[in-house]
């Protein structure tokens, strides 16, 4: 997660969210998010040599001036473009990660500037919310666990080596399924007289949240959109199932939702509620009030012959655990998403 820094007392804080001269690092720009400084820096473009650079020497009178030889540029490794189906992260993406190696891909940033035509300020242009593919790169000759990053079809760099090692197994597994991870990227690019530079920051899920810990059901299903947290009840009655999945860290699971009839006592009025199942086994239910907020979506997906599949987070120990759903409520799902659900 991008750390936020307190406002400097020695420098007036800028008001708009943008790149500004860094008050604490001369010769650099720093991103101000509208409220506080972040830890994103970029060096200011240097247009001339420093006055302290080594002076040039002239050839003796009557001899030709020596020819300058530009050092050969090392060949840049080109990875294959991502193929397959783009999938969103299973867990919520909320961790900012800088991309490395962008200086080798200036043509990519030039293409992004031309394609998006963002407004440009004194310190370059900011492009937010661009789709980025994060792909395992097993053929990389420099790192056997390399992870390549593509933005709008342009290869812009790689994850740092330590981050790549954490994400590579899940991304490689996606590739075997014919899928790749798609997240949002924030791109900064600077173009001065054809000299293009850029940087990229991604928002990623935790490594173990790239995909669900358990396998999705084999039956036709529909993945529910991300949403707020909804607490599941009665988990303590199903620790024989949940206890097998708990971990020292949050476990990101895929669960299905089902409409059921509930009657608490023989004399009480029955009502429709939502039951939660993990790998086909009951692990809890939603309260009457929460069931009313999602049951219309459960019914709609079921009417298409599909299982409602949603994201869940499991915390706790083999003795007691808590299960929380992360689903959009009925009034939060979009018409476009509903229209996209096909008959099984």
- Name the DSSP class of 53: S
Total structural domains in the chain?
2
Choose the weakest-confidence range: 60-64, 91-95, 135-139, 253-257. 60-64
Confidence class for position 13, pLDDT limits 50, 70, 90: very low
Q: Are residues 201 and 266 both part of a single domain?
A: no
Rounded to an integer, what is the distance from CA 320 to the centroid of its chain? 31
Mean model confidence pLDDT for the chain: 85
Q: Are residues 187 and 235 both part of a single domain?
A: no
List pLDDT tens digits, range 209-225: 999 999 999 999 999 99
Rg (alpha carbons) of the chain, rounded to whole number = 26
Q: State how far the Cα of 224 lies from the Cα of 333, in Å rounded to an integer.
A: 9
Q: Are residues 89 and 204 both part of a single domain?
A: yes
Take residue 275 and report the two structure tokens written for it: 């039951």
Residue 316 lies in a domain: yes
Confidence (pLDDT) at 320? 94
Q: What's the CATH code of the domain at 203?
A: 3.30.70
Partner residues linked to 21 by β-bridges:
29
Confidence (pLDDT) at 42? 64
Take residue 246 and report the two structure tokens written for it: 């708990």
Q: Are residues 233 and 281 both part of a single domain?
A: yes
Q: Are residues 187 and 121 both part of a single domain?
A: yes
Partner residues linked to 258 by β-bridges:
275
End position of a domain, from candidates 208, 238, 259: 208
Residue 319 lies in a domain: yes
Q: Are residues 141 and 235 both part of a single domain?
A: no
Choose the weakest-confidence range: 118-127, 163-172, 196-205. 118-127
End position of a domain, from candidates 183, 208, 233: 208
Give the residue carrying structure tokens 């407004």.
119
Q: State how far the Cα of 15 lies from the Cα of 21, in Å rounded to an integer.
A: 13
- Which of 231, 216, 222, 226 has the alpha carbon at shortest distance from 314? 231
**Helical H segments across 117-226, by residue range:** 161-176
Rounded to an integer, what is the distance from CA 217 to the centroid of its chain? 25
At 107, give phi and psi (nearest 5°).
-65, -35
Q: State how far the Cα of 203 lies from the Cα of 187, in Å rounded to an integer.
A: 12
Q: Are residues 254 and 228 both part of a single domain?
A: yes
Q: Are residues 100 and 204 both part of a single domain?
A: yes
Q: Are residues 104 and 151 both part of a single domain?
A: yes
Q: How many CB atoms lie within 10 A of CB 158?
A: 25
Whether the per-residue pLDDT at 27 is higher than 60: the answer is yes
Residue 20 lies in a domain: no
Helix (H, G, I), strand (E, B) or coil at 302: helix
List pLDDT tens digits, range 196-210: 889 999 999 999 999
Confidence class for position 2, pLDDT limits 50, 70, 90: very low
Q: Are residues 163 and 268 both part of a single domain?
A: no
List pLDDT tens digits, range 180-189: 999 999 999 9
User: Do the beta carbons of residue 117 and residue 110 sit within 8 Å?
Assistant: no
User: Do the beta carbons of residue 206 and residue 310 sit within 8 Å?
Assistant: no
Average pLDDT over residues 158-182: 96
Confidence (pLDDT) at 257? 98
Residue 50 lies in a domain: no
At 135, give phi and psi (nearest 5°).
-130, 135
Residue 335 lies in a domain: yes
Q: State how far the Cα of 295 lies from the Cα of 277, in Å rounded to an integer.
A: 15
Q: Are residues 253 and 180 both part of a single domain?
A: no
Q: State how far the Cα of 195 lies from the Cα of 180, in Å rounded to an integer.
A: 32
Confidence (pLDDT) at 60? 46
Residue 16 lies in a domain: no
Q: State how far the Cα of 258 lies from the Cα of 208, in Å rounded to an integer.
A: 26
End position of a domain, from candidates 142, 173, 208: 208
| Most distant pair of Cα atoms in the chain: their distance | 114
Residue 29 lies in a domain: no
Residue 19 lies in a domain: no
Q: Using CA of residue 248, residue 250, residue 251, residue 255, what is the dihedral sign?
A: positive
Average pLDDT over residues 139-147: 93
Residue 305 domain boundaries? 221-339
Q: Are residues 105 and 142 both part of a single domain?
A: yes
Choose the weakest-confidence range: 19-33, 146-160, 248-262. 19-33
- CA triplet 245, 248, 250: central angle to 5 degrees? 70
Q: State how far the Cα of 72 lies from the Cα of 55, in Å rounded to an integer.
A: 23
304 burial via Cβ count (<10 Å: 0-12, 13-18, 19+): middle
Choose the weakest-confidence range: 9-18, 259-268, 325-334. 9-18
pTM as predicted:
0.74
């Amino acid at each position: 997660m991008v750390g936020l820094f307190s406002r400097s007392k020695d420098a007036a804080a800028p008001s708009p969210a943008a790149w500004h001269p860094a008050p604490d690092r001369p010769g650099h720009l720093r991103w101000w998010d509208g409220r506080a400084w972040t830890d994103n820096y970029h060096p200011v473009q240097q247009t001339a040599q420093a006055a302290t650079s080594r002076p040039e020497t002239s050839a003796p009178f009557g001899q030709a001036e020596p020819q300058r030889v530009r050092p050969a540029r090392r060949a840049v490794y080109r990875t294959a473009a991502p193929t397959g189906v783009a999938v969103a992260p299973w867990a919520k993406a909320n961790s900012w990660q800088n991309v490395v190696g962008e200086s080798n891909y200036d043509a990519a940033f030039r293409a992004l500037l031309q394609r998006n035509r963002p407004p440009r300020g004194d310190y370059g242009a900011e492009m937010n919310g661009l789709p980025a593919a994060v792909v395992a790169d097993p053929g990389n000759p420099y790192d056997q666990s390399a992870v390549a990053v593509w933005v709008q079809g342009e290869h812009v760099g790689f994850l740092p080596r330590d981050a790549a090692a954490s994400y590579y197994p899940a991304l490689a597994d996606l590739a075997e399924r014919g899928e790749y991870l798609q997240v949002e990227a924030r791109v900064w690019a600077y173009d001065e007289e054809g000299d293009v530079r850029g940087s990229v920051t991604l928002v990623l899920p935790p490594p173990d949240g790239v995909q669900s810990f358990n396998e999705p059901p084999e039956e036709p299903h529909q993945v529910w959109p991300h949403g707020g947290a909804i607490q599941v009840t009665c988990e303590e009655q199903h620790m024989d199932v949940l206890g097998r999945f708990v971990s020292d860290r949050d476990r990101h699971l895929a669960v299905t939702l089902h409409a059921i009839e509930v009657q608490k006592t023989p004399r009480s009025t029955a009502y429709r509620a939502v039951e939660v199942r993990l790998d086909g086994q009951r692990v809890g239910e939603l309260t009457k009030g929460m069931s009313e907020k999602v049951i219309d979506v459960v019914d709609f997906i079921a009417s298409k012959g599909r299982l409602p599949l949603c994201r869940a987070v499991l915390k706790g120990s083999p003795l007691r655990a808590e299960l929380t759903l992360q689903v959009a409520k009925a009034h939060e799902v979009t018409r476009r998403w509903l229209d996209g659900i096909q008959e099984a």
